C-alpha cells in the first residue's frame, strides 16, 4: 500500500487521495455511450450489451413469478434462515426511521405542515459482477417496503448461465420486490431511467454498483431521482497500538475484495504498526479466495497514513470522508464528536465492518468517493417525498399581508403583491360592511325601543 508519513502539525489534504476508483473517467465515457444506446434501441440494446459485458444471451429479462416462488424452495435453508434473520433486523431499524406527516396550527389560525407521500415506483440496483449481493436486495427493498412504495423493481446482472442466484430471488420475495429483471450495469440504470419495451421507467433509482453503475446513475440523475453515488467500496481503519494488526488487516481486505477499484485506508501512529498490518495482509492473502482483486485494490488504491497525533488522524478521516470508518482505538466512542464525514462509523474492536454489511440493521448502501461530506446512508427518507401544506385564515392573511406586499414590491413582482393586497382589501371591506351593518342595526334597535 502507498504510505504517507505526516510530520507533526502537517495538514492532511485531499491531494493525498486518489479518487480515480470512485470517479473513473473511462467509466463515465462508457456509461454515456451505453445510456444513449439504450435510449435509442430499448430492449435490443439491453440484449446486445448483456451479451457483450456479461457474456450471456437473454431473451426475456422479466423473471417470472414461478421462478421466484421456486427459489424459496431451492435456496440453501441455512442461507434462507440467515437472510430472514438479517431482514428482521434491517426492517426493525428502518421502521424506526419512518416519518409521519405533521401539521401545526398557528395562533392566528394558519395551518402549516408537511405531508409525507411514498414514491410510486423505485428501481433498486443489485450488483452482481464480481460477487452475489442478496444482502443488497434487503438493504434497498426493505426501506422501500416499510415506506409503502407500491412498485419495487429490482435489476441485477445474470450469472454465467443466464439465470439469477436463488438467494437473490428469495431476498426479493422476503423484501416485497414486485418486478425483477435480469439485466445489470449502466444499461440497467438507463432502462430504469428512460424505460424500454419491457421495463417501465421508475421515479427513482437506488442501490450500489461498480464504477460503470455509479457513473450511469450520476448521468441520469435529474431525469430520474437517485439516492447517492454508491460506487466501489471504501474503508478507513483508524488503529492504535491496542488494535490487533491481524484484525485490522482482515477488515481492510474485507472491502478490498469487493472490487479492484475499492479504496482502503489505514490511519495509524507508527511505521512499525503499519508494517505489522502489511505483514498480516500477506499472511491472509495466502488463504484468500479473492487474492487477485484484493491485492490489486490494495496496491493501486490503498493508502496508509502515519500520523503524529489523534487530532491529525481525525483530520485525515474527515478529508477522506470514507464510506466506512472503523475506529479501532481505545475509547473509540470519545472521538465520535470530532468525526464529521463518514457514511457509517464502526466503534471498537468487536465491530467488524461486515456486521454492518449484513445484519446490524443500518443500511449498507453508503456514499463513496468523498460524497459522505454531503450524503447520508440510504434510508426510508429516500423512498418518500414531502409536500408542504399551507392553509391561511383571514386573521393570518391580515397578519402577514404587509410583509408579503413589502418583499414582493422589492422584488419587482407586481402580481405577487397584488394577489395579497386584493384579498386584504376584500377582508377589510367585509369588516367595514359588517361594522356599518352592526351600527345600523344598533340604531334600528334603539328606535324600536323608542330611545
Ligand X SMILES: NC(=O)c1ccc[n+]([C@@H]2O[C@H](COP(=O)([O-])OP(=O)(O)OC[C@H]3O[C@@H](n4cnc5c(N)ncnc54)[C@H](O)[C@@H]3O)[C@@H](O)[C@H]2O)c1
Report, in Å, the least distance between residue 390 CB and ligand HSO: 41
Between the alpha carbon of residue 424 and those of residues 270, 393, 398, the distances in Å are: 72, 11, 6
Binding-site string for ligand HSO from residue 128 to residue 167, where x marks contact by CB under 6 A and - marks none? -----x-xx-------------------------------
Measured from the CB atom, the residue of 135 and 318 that comes closer to ligand HSO is: 135
Q: Does 233 bind ligand HSO (CB under 6 A)?
A: yes
- Dihedral sign, CA of 353, 358, 361, 367? positive
Interatomic CA distance for residues 193 and 182, integer angstroms: 16
Q: Is 323 a catalytic residue?
A: yes
Q: Taking a C-beta distance cutoff of 8 angstroms, is the pair 270, 358 a contact?
A: no
Q: How far is the CB of 136 from ligand HSO (least distance, A)?
A: 6
Return d(Cα 231, Cα 343) in angstroms, integer: 12
364 near ligand X (CB under 6 A)? yes
Residues present in the chain in total: 451
Restricting to residues 19-58, name those near ligand X by CB under 6 A: 30, 53-54
Is 357 annotated as a binding-site member?
yes
Q: Which of 165, 259, 353, 382 binds ligand X (CB under 6 A)?
A: 259
Burial pattern 39-65, b for ≥16 Cβ within 10 A else e, equals beebbebbbebbeebbebebeebebee
Least distance CB 285 / Zn ion (angstroms): 17
Q: Is 324 annotated as a binding residue?
A: yes
Nearer to Zn ion, 195 or 361 (CB): 361
Q: Phi, psi (5° rounding) for residue 364?
A: -95, 0
Cα 182 from Cα 51, distance rounded (Å): 12
**Comparison of 123 and 232: residue with beta carbon closer to Zn ion:** 232
CB neighbour list of residue 200: distance below 8 Å, 6 or more residues apart: 121
**Can residue 322 be called a binding residue for ligand X (CB under 6 A)?**
no
| Cβ-closest position to ligand HSO | 233
**Selection from 186, 139, 158 nearest residue 34 by Cα:** 186
- Rounded to an integer, what distance in angstroms lies between the CA atom of residue 329 and that of residue 351? 12
Nearer to ligand X, 130 or 340 (CB): 130
* Residue 123 site contact among ligand HSO, Zn ion, ligand X, none (CB < 5 to 8 Å, cut-off depends on kind): none
**What binding mask, one character per residue, do residues 272-291 give for ligand HSO by CB under 6 A, x or -?**
--------------------
Q: Is 301 annotated as a binding residue?
A: no
Q: How far is Cα 18 from Cα 28, in angstroms, rounded to an integer?
A: 17
Strands 121-125, 204-206: pairing kind: parallel
Q: Is 419 annotated as a binding residue?
A: no
Is the separation of the CB atoms in 358 and 134 below 8 Å?
no
d(CA 330, CA 277): 18
Residues 75-134 that bind ligand X (CB under 6 A): 127-131
213 binds, among ligand X, ligand HSO, Zn ion, none (CB under 5 to 8 A by kind): ligand X
Catalytic residue among 234, 278, 323, 353: 323
| Shortest distance (Å) from residue 243 CB to ligand X | 24
Q: Is 364 in the site for ligand HSO (CB under 6 A)?
A: yes
Q: Does 357 bind Zn ion (CB under 5 A)?
A: yes
With CB under 6 A as the contact rule, the residue among 227, 240, 278, 357 that binds ligand HSO is 357
- Closest CB to ligand X among 344 and 417? 344
- Are 158 and 50 in contact by the 8 Å Cβ rule? The answer is yes
Give the 3-state secondary structure of 82-113: HHHHHHHHHHHHHHCCCCCCEEEECCCCCEEE
Distance CA 156, CA 128 (A): 6
Helical pair 245-256 and 291-301, crossing angle rounded to 10 deg: 100
The partner in contact with residue 135, picked from ligand HSO, Zn ion, ligand X, none with C-beta cut-offs of 5 to 8 angstroms by kind, is: ligand HSO
Name the catalytic one among 179, 257, 278, 324: 324
User: Long-range contact list for 109-114, CB < 8 A, 24+ apart?
Assistant: 109/392, 109/393, 109/394, 109/395, 109/396, 110/390, 110/391, 110/392, 110/393, 110/396, 111/389, 111/390, 111/391, 112/388, 112/389, 112/390, 112/391, 113/388, 113/389, 114/386, 114/387, 114/388, 114/389
Q: Which of residues 142-161 bind ligand X (CB under 6 A)?
A: 157
Reference 358, options 78, 88, 22, 68; nearest CA is: 88
The yes-or-no answer on residue 324 being catalytic is yes
Task: Decide whether 43 or 234 has the Cβ nearer to ligand HSO.
Answer: 234
Using CB under 6 A as the criterion, which residues of the chain lie in contact with ligand HSO when the complex forms?
Answer: 133, 135-136, 233, 255, 323, 357, 364
Using CB under 5 A as the criterion, which residues of the chain lie in contact with Zn ion when the complex forms?
Answer: 357
Can you say which residues are annotated as belonging to the binding site?
125, 187, 210, 233, 255, 258, 324, 357, 411, 416
Using CB under 6 A as the criterion, which residues of the chain lie in contact with ligand X when the complex forms?
Answer: 30, 53-54, 127-131, 136, 157, 184-186, 208-210, 212-213, 230-233, 258-259, 262, 323, 364-366, 368
Can you say which residues are annotated as belonging to the binding site for substrate?
233, 255, 258, 324, 357, 411, 416
Active site residues: 323-324
Can you say which residues are annotated as belonging to the binding site for NAD(+)?
125, 187, 210
Amino acid at each position: 500500500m502507498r504510505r504517507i508519513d505526516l510530520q507533526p502539525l502537517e495538514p492532511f489534504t485531499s491531494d493525498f487521495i486518489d479518487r480515480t476508483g470512485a470517479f473513473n473517467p473511462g467509466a463515465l465515457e462508457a456509461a454515456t455511450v451505453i445510456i444513449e444506446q439504450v435510449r435509442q434501441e430499448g430492449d435490443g440494446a439491453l440484449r446486445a450489451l448483456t451479451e457483450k459485458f456479461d457474456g450471456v444471451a437473454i431473451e426475456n429479462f422479466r423473471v417470472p413469478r414461478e421462478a421466484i416462488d421456486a427459489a424459496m424452495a431451492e435456496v440453501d435453508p441455512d442461507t434462507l434462515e440467515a437472510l430472514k434473520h438479517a431482514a428482521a433486523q434491517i426492517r426493525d431499524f428502518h421502521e424506526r426511521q419512518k416519518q409521519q406527516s405533521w401539521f401545526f396550527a398557528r395562533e392566528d389560525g394558519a395551518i402549516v405542515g408537511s405531508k409525507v407521500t411514498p414514491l410510486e415506483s423505485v428501481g433498486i440496483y443489485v450488483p452482481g459482477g464480481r460477487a452475489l449481493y442478496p444482502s443488497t436486495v434487503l438493504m434497498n427493498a426493505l426501506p422501500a417496503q416499510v415506506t409503502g412504495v407500491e412498485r419495487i423493481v429490482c435489476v441485477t446482472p445474470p450469472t454465467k448461465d443466464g439465470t439469477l442466484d436463488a438467494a437473490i430471488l428469495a431476498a426479493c420475495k422476503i423484501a416485497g420486490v414486485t418486478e425483477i429483471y435480469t439485466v445489470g450495469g449502466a444499461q440497467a440504470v438507463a432502462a430504469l431511467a428512460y424505460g424500454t419495451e419491457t421495463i417501465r421507467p421508475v421515479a427513482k433509482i437506488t442501490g450500489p454498483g461498480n464504477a460503470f453503475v455509479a457513473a450511469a446513475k450520476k448521468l441520469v440523475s435529474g431525469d430520474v431521482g437517485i439516492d447517492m453515488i454508491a460506487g466501489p467500496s471504501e474503508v478507513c481503519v483508524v488503529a492504535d497500538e491496542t488494535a490487533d494488526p491481524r484484525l485490522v488487516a482482515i477488515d481492510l481486505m474485507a472491502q478490498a475484495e469487493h472490487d479492484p477499484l475499492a479504496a482502503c485506508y489505514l490511519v495509524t501512529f507508527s511505521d512499525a504498526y503499519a508494517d505489522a498490518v502489511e505483514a498480516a495482509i500477506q499472511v491472509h492473502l495466502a488463504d484468500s479466495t479473492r487474492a487477485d482483486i484484493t491485492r490489486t485494490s490494495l496496491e493501486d488504491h490503498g493508502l496508509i497514513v502515519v500520523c503524529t497525533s489523534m487530532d491529525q488522524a481525525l483530520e485525515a478521516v474527515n478529508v477522506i470522508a470514507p464510506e466506512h470508518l472503523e475506529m479501532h482505538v481505545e475509547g473509540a466512542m470519545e472521538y465520535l464528536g470530532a468525526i464529521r464525514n463518514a457514511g457509517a462509523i464502526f466503534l471498537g474492536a468487536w465491530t467488524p465492518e461486515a456486521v454492518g454489511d449484513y445484519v446490524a440493521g443500518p443500511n449498507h448502501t453508503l456514499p463513496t468517493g468523498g460524497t459522505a461530506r454531503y450524503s447520508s446512508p440510504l434510508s426510508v427518507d429516500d423512498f418518500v417525498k414531502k409536500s408542504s401544506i399551507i392553509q391561511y385564515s383571514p386573521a393570518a392573511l391580515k397578519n402577514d399581508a404587509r410583509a408579503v406586499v413589502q418583499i414582493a414590491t422589492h422584488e419587482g413582482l407586481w402580481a405577487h403583491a397584488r394577489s395579497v393586497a386584493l384579498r386584504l382589501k376584500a377582508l377589510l371591506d367585509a369588516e367595514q360592511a359588517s361594522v356599518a351593518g352592526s351600527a345600523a342595526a344598533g340604531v334600528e334597535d334603539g328606535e324600536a325601543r323608542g330611545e
